[in-house]
Amino acid sequence: MTSSWYWVRDATTAADPESIARAATRYSMAHDSVRSAMTTLWSTDSRLGINLVVPLLHPVAAPQYMAELADLAVQIGLVLERIYEDLTILARGLQEHAAHLGMTALIYSSAEADVTAHIAMCRTLASVGCFAGSSGFTSATLLSSLPRYVSGMSGSQAGDSEQDPFTDPRLANFSGVEAQQQIGAITAGAGDGITDGAGVSALSARLSSLWRTLGFPPWARTSGVVVSGAGGVLWGGLNQSDHGSRIRRVNLQPRKLEHSHSSFPSRGAPAPLPVRWAGDAHPAQKAAAAIMHSEPRGILPVFAKGPKRLGFDGIGTPRTAGQLLARISHSSASGSAGQVQVLRHRSSVSGLRSWSVVISGTKKWVPRTLNPQDMGSNFQELAGEISDQHVSVRLAMELAGIQPDEPVEFVGHSQGGAVALSLAADPEVVAEYSVVSVLTAGAPTGPVMPGKVPVLALENLADIVPALDGRAALVGEHQQVVYFDAGGLGPQKAAGAHSSETYVEAANKLGSQSREDPALRSYREWEENRAKALRLGGDTKTKTLFFTTTRVSGSIGDATVGAVGLPGSAGVGTFEKAMLASRH
């Protein structure tokens, strides 16, 4: 007995959630009937022994009757045993299929943003046992649950800040689904009387505001990030003015960057920061010095060792979604630094290049850390802001030397997926690069979705992280979401609901099945189109560039400005001062 373990939602999918919910209900009824049949037969079984004994007590029973009765008893026993076994399997299959259909109906229903219908469906399915997690779709439900999620995410447990709460087995499966529904329901405004798509959007903004409130004060105003690798160091951050690029950057290693290509061609390479390196340096310089002279976990780039050691690592070219996602596990991070991988694909025949920007997920489950891959960036992303990790990736792309006409794709897991989408939807990025594809895994994709870039989003139904944006992922002509049940991969994968390994295995299995399953045609086409857009051929060789990222500690107006000799005009932040200095 097999049942579907994945569902695709894209522009070509036509689904009637009500119809699917009706099917789920009927499967549930069929399950009840089978259980009833088992109970009925059980009464037969329980009497069987007695009925065998009774004839033996007959005073004049003929021996031939007795022999046949004994033989019948054996046959009846064997048949009953077989029936019980088959009915047990059948009942379980019907129950699981009812649950799968119920969940499918809920997914399609929630994607339609018809809150009234969605809530009604949740309740209907719960009443027939197709979905056990919908016992209370009220604001109070989420608010009572929220501290658990927030405390888990903020790593409030002593010494536990490295633990990814979403891979905690205690939150797997049911809890994950339950949380998705709770968060989705509160965002959809169940209890607030808002029943249309506009209301959903408005309440999603409220949820984003909640994340912002939790995450911003007082630590959001950092002095940007420093990124090093491929022979250069850049300091970047959000522009404080509304003019020009939203992201400004300062070259902290001008001598190296002379050999680098700038991906901001219209504005030219960033000018060097006229500061000294040692002594009472500016926080950005301290950050740069720290990551230049450290080798956490042995894989971060150390360009100081010379131009031949630029962090390049020859690898096999990732040709499928699974192979691409597998690169994420090669990223590393420490408490004070994160990492961005940029894969450079190059044809040994034509010399043409293309790029994969690999963005891993949250590494620090608290905000206000030096590693941009922390909860601070999560809150920024969910609030629809440009996150520090977003800035980090853009700087890494510039240092990698990605040219405007070279195809580039973004791939990310968890926070990395959200950043990948925000990059692909960023008008500045689209204008400066040839973005051809996005792949996300276990990422909250709701707030943004690029218009024309092909997107494949993978979401494990038991993973609560994709629901943290509080809305269904947008789909369109070029975007598709593939939901899957990690239970289809085995119990161990079901437990690691949010782990990147689970997504890698799911992608590999989906890729394999897509060759013969018409339901996965769009998945197969995404993989084919990606390889074509990136010009990946048999002659393609791939190398990895690792970039180290770190936040610049200190705040705007930091007193150390004077120590590095920057002009100290009143009312202008440290970063702006540095920018002003770099122009002179």
Partner 1 sequence: MASKTGSYGQGMFGHDDLGSAYAALAELDEVALLLGALTVEGWQGAAASAADQARIAHVGAVRRVREDVRVLTLLLQRREDLRNLLGAA
- Residue 442 in contact with residue 460, Cβ under 8 Å? yes
| Residue span binding partner 1 (CB under 8 A) among the ranges 16-24, 140-148, 167-175, 419-427 | 16-24
Q: Which residues contact 129 (CB under 8 A, 6 or more apart)?
A: 28, 98
Give start and end residues of each alpha helix (H) in 356-481: 375-382, 388-400, 415-424, 427-432
Q: Which residues in 393-412 contact partner 1 (CB under 8 A)?
A: none
d(CA 344, CA 545): 7
Q: Does 57 bind partner 1 (CB under 8 A)?
A: yes
Q: In this structure, what token pair is assigned to residue 12? A: 């070509």
CB of 420 to partner 1, least distance (A): 23
- Determine if 12 is a binding residue for partner 1 (CB under 8 A): yes
Using the contact rule CB under 8 A, the part of the chain among 26-34, 272-280, 374-382, 437-445 near partner 1 is 26-34
Region of 51-59, 256-264, 291-299, 530-538 interacting with partner 1 (CB under 8 A): 51-59
**Is residue 519 classed exposed, middle or buried when 0-12, 13-18 and 19+ CB atoms within 10 A define those classes?**
middle
Question: Residue 433, interface with partner 1 (CB under 8 A)?
Answer: no
- Determine, following the binding rule CB under 8 A, whether residue 6 of this chain makes contact with partner 1: yes
> Residues 75, 127, 213, 329: which binds partner 1 (CB under 8 A)?
75
Per-residue x/- mask for partner 1, residues 489 to 528, rule CB under 8 A?
----------------------------xxxx-x------
Q: In whole angstroms, how large is the CA radius of gyration of the chain?
A: 29
Is 117 a binder of partner 1 (CB under 8 A)?
A: no
Residue 101 CA to residue 98 CA, distance in Å, equals 5
Q: How far is the CB of 89 from partner 1 (least distance, A)?
A: 7
Torsion of CA 176, 182, 187, 190, to 10 degrees: 160
Given candidates 58, 255, 259, 541, which one binds partner 1 under the rule CB under 8 A?
58
Residue range at the interface with partner 1 (CB under 8 A); choices 31-39, 172-180, 282-290, 405-413:
31-39
Is residue 10 close enough to count as binding partner 1 by CB under 8 A?
yes
Dihedral of CA 512/518/524/526: which sign? negative
Q: How far is the CB of 521 from partner 1 (least distance, A)?
A: 9
Give the integer Cα–Cα distance in Å for 151 and 501. 25
Our finding on whether 146 is near partner 1 (CB under 8 A) is no
Q: Which of residues 521-580 bind partner 1 (CB under 8 A)?
A: 522
Q: Which is nearer to partner 1, 127 or 492 (CB)?
A: 127
Residues in Cβ contact with 87 at an 8 Å cutoff, skipping those fewer than 6 apart: 34, 37, 38, 41
In the bound state with partner 1, the residue whose beta carbon lies nearer, of 36 and 492, is 36
Q: Whose Cβ is closer to partner 1: residue 258's or residue 477's?
A: 477
The span of 15-23, 303-311, 335-343, 410-418 binding partner 1 (CB under 8 A) equals: 15-23
d(C-alpha 583, C-alpha 561), whole Å: 16
Contact 549, 289 (CB under 8 A): no
User: What is the rounded distance in angstroms from the CA atom of residue 578 to the CA atom of residue 570?
Assistant: 13
Backbone torsions φ then ψ of 308, nearest 5 degrees: -80, -10
Q: Measured between alpha carbons, how far is residue 163 from residues 167, 361, 406, 412, 486 in Å? A: 8, 12, 38, 19, 21
Work out whether 213 is an interface residue with partner 1 (CB under 8 A): no
Evaluated on CA atoms 180, 181, 182, 183, the torsion sign reads positive
Q: Which is nearer to partner 1, 78 or 304 (CB)?
A: 78
Give the C-alpha separation, 292 to 97, whole Å: 55
| C-beta of residue 497 within 8 angstroms of C-beta of residue 167 | yes
Instruction: Supply the minimum distance, in Å, between the C-beta of residue 418 and partner 1.
Output: 24
CB atoms within 10 A of CB 140: 10
The two three-digit tokens of residue 85, written as one number: 């076994």
**Contact range with partner 1 by CB under 8 A, out of 73-81, 207-215, 289-297, 526-534:** 73-81
Distance in Å, CB of 7 to partner 1, minimum = 5
The residue among 11 and 140 lying less far from partner 1, judged by its C-beta, is 11
Number of residues that bind partner 1 (CB under 8 A): 68
Q: Mask of contacts with partner 1, 83-112, x by CB under 8 A?
A: x--xx-xx--xx--x---x--x--------
Stretch of residues binding partner 1 (CB under 8 A), selected from 25-33, 178-186, 336-344, 491-499? 25-33
Instruction: Kindly tell me which of 81 and 160 has the beta carbon lying closer to partner 1.
Output: 81
Is there a contact between 444 and 467 (Cβ–Cβ < 8 Å)?
yes
In angstroms, the CA 125 to CA 122 distance is: 5
Tokens read off for 390: 């977003």
- DSSP 8-state class, residue 108: H
What tokens were used for 356? 């994969």
Which stretch in 4-12, 241-249, 500-508, 569-577 sits in contact with partner 1 by CB under 8 A? 4-12
Report which residue type is found at 401: G
**Among 35-43, 196-204, 267-275, 357-365, the segment contacting partner 1 (CB under 8 A):** 35-43
Evaluate whether 552 touches 225 at the Cβ level (below 8 Å).
yes
Q: Does 63 bind partner 1 (CB under 8 A)?
A: no
Minimum separation from the CB atom of position 574 to partner 1 (A): 51
Interface residues with partner 1 (CB under 8 A)? 1-4, 6-10, 12-16, 18-20, 23, 26-27, 29-30, 33-34, 36-38, 40-41, 43-44, 47-48, 50-51, 53-55, 57-58, 60-62, 65, 68-69, 72-73, 75-76, 79-80, 82-83, 86-87, 89-90, 93-94, 97, 101, 104, 517-520, 522
